[in-house]
Amino acid sequence: MIKKLIKKEIARQKKVINLIPSENYVSKDVLAALGSPLTNKYAEGKSGQRYYFGNEIVDQLESEVKRLVYKVFKISAKRYGVNVQPYSGSIANLASYIGSVGLGGKILAMSLEHGGHLTHGHHVSMTGKLFKFRHYEVGRDGWIDYDEVARIAKKFKPQLIVCGATAYPRKLDFKKFRQIADSVNALLIADISHIAGLIAGGVHPSPFPYADIVTTTTQKTLRGPRGAIIISKLSTPQVNNLSDIIDKIVFPGLQGGPQMHTIAAMGVAFEEAMKPSFKKYARQVVANAKALATELERLGFKIITGGTDNHLMLVDVTPLGLTGKEAGERLERAGIIVNKNMIPYDIRKPWDPSGIRLGTPAVTTQGMKEGDMIKIARKIKHILLK
């Protein structure tokens, strides 16, 4: 039965137009590594410091994957530590918070309703229960107001500031966030889960050297398996041995043995991300997103911030007399997959919000270009306005 369901899902993925910004299609090589016998190996601990024997080869593997992270993001091992063991971005963020400010620490982040993530301190997340979070919002125009972020930081005096989002269509100014963090003597963490592939591809500003900690998943624009990494400065004025502390929070603090098959698949994705073809891919992702947003706006759709700088956009569907749930369901029946999403200052609830979120990583992997985006936009109009 399981094999039949897998085949059905493969068929579904092939026949739909996937516009979910957080999904992508990995290569056959990534899949091969993910399904390799490395899944048989238990390897608690770090390379060279395992609690099990028989780890000579996986030690080399993990070390190589970490070396690839340094190359992909053009950073130095003399300044940064890398951990490739987190099972997910949620674990990566939690470990980073505990390691940097400790339980109960004061953290400033973007609110979920305005584009942030659950693990940026939302009340339903354990991060919102274990730490003292304050949140900044975007302006009525949908853009981050850095002066307002600075004002909140000055009043709240956080120990850590989180920059990064899951539903913000514009470039992040990491330098401004660094200046705000410095003004209150706070650490800065950049959650680049959505834009990591765009950064690796050179089409989005890098958080280095501004952020003290960088977390990311690997399955979105990086086009890898569902895993995560933490990159942190070896030490900061606020926290000595920061990287080592975070490593100990990941294991043994939060996890057991690392998933070596996933780490291997991440390594394959990093190798692919260093090829010239990946830079071309990243450029096309952004070009496609701009084309899709521009055409949708021309067709009368309300696009939050009026466009996009990255791989995603938010569309307010309430002028169409629809909710995000209704719009998503109509599109799915027609073979277009999006996700319902709150828009800034939304008066509706998360499970039936006012907007939908669209992105171009997956369709770009399939080889689509700007002309295809125009056709998709017109199809979306036909589906939602009929």
DSSP assignment letter at 184: T
Q: How far apart are the first and last CA of the chain?
A: 38
Mean pLDDT of the chain: 97
Is 220 one of the catalytic residues? yes
Q: Name the band, by pLDDT with cuts 50, 70 and 90, for residue 86.
A: very high
d(C-alpha 383, C-alpha 379), whole Å:
6
Q: What is the mean pLDDT of residues 158-181?
A: 98
Catalytic residue among 62, 113, 137, 191: 191
Model pTM score: 0.96
Q: Name the band, by pLDDT with cuts 50, 70 and 90, for residue 380.
A: very high
Q: What is the mean pLDDT of residues 152-158?
A: 98
The larger pLDDT score, comparing residue 360 to residue 385, is at 360
- At 270-313, the pLDDT tens digits run 999 999 999 999 999 999 999 999 999 999 999 999 999 999 99
Contacts of 57 (CB under 8 A, 6+ apart): none
Catalytic residue among 44, 59, 297, 370: 44
What is the enclosing helix (H) or strand (E) of 14?
A: helix 2-15
Instruction: Say what the pLDDT of residue 310 is.
Output: 98
Domains and CATH numbers, the chain: 28-273 (3.40.640.10), 276-385 (3.90.1150.10)
Tally the residues of the chain: 386
Catalytic residue among 132, 176, 226, 378: 226
Catalytic residue among 41, 46, 50, 220: 220
Instruction: Say what the pLDDT of residue 303 is.
Output: 98
What is the enclosing helix (H) or strand (E) of 374?
A: helix 370-385
Q: What is the mean pLDDT of residues 371-376?
A: 98
Instruction: Say what the pLDDT of residue 386 is.
Output: 72
Output the CA–CA distances (angstroms, integers) from residue 48 to 58, 66, 77, 295, 354, in the order listed.
Answer: 10, 14, 17, 54, 51
Catalytic residue among 119, 215, 216, 217: 217
Q: Assess contact for 94 and 126: CB atoms under 8 A.
A: yes
Instruction: Say what the pLDDT of residue 42 is.
Output: 95
Instruction: Say what the pLDDT of residue 136 is.
Output: 98
Is 381 one of the catalytic residues? no
Res 78 pLDDT > 80? yes
Is 191 one of the catalytic residues? yes
Res 183 pLDDT > 90? yes
- At 40-62, the pLDDT tens digits run 999 999 999 999 999 999 999 99
Q: What is the mean pLDDT of residues 106-135?
A: 96
Q: What is the mean pLDDT of residues 216-222?
A: 98
Is 217 one of the catalytic residues? yes
Is 59 one of the catalytic residues? no
When computed from its CA atoms, the radius of gyration of the chain, rounded to whole angstroms, is 21
Q: What is the mean pLDDT of residues 312-338?
A: 97
Is 346 one of the catalytic residues? no
